[in-house]
Amino acid sequence: MKYGEKIIQESRLESWPNKNHKRDYLVEITLPEFTCLCPRSGYPDFAAIRIKYIPDKKIAELKSLKLYINKFRDVSISHEEVTNKILDDFVNLLRPKWIEVIGDFNPRGNVKAVITARHARKNFKFPVVPEKCMKKTR
């Protein structure tokens, strides 16, 4: 086994303490080179995985996330299942206030799938941001 394969196999998703946990803020992560295998055909599936979350007391450690995502490259798993698994793993590790995982899969056989899975704490209200703050300035 090559050293990179060993590191990926032995890795686990990790977290850091959130030193700003009293403030609601949005973390956005894009993983543009996601791969897994179709459970029916065995053909590779390619996707961009986008993760957005409002952390509480923990945030994701990004190197561990990179290794965690690479574990899926030889796993036979559907688009829906892998998107929900990533969401569940993040919820279990971080206990965020709110999280969304989007699996934006490349077309195969003229079919494109985008899977969106979300989780929010009970009674959590997403912070309202004034529209003028959302507009890009030039």
Q: Which residues participate in catalysis according to the annotation?
A: 38, 45
* DSSP-based three-state secondary structure for 128: coil
**What are the DSSP calls for 80-108, one per residue?**
HHHHHHHHHHHHHHH--SEEEEEEEEPPB
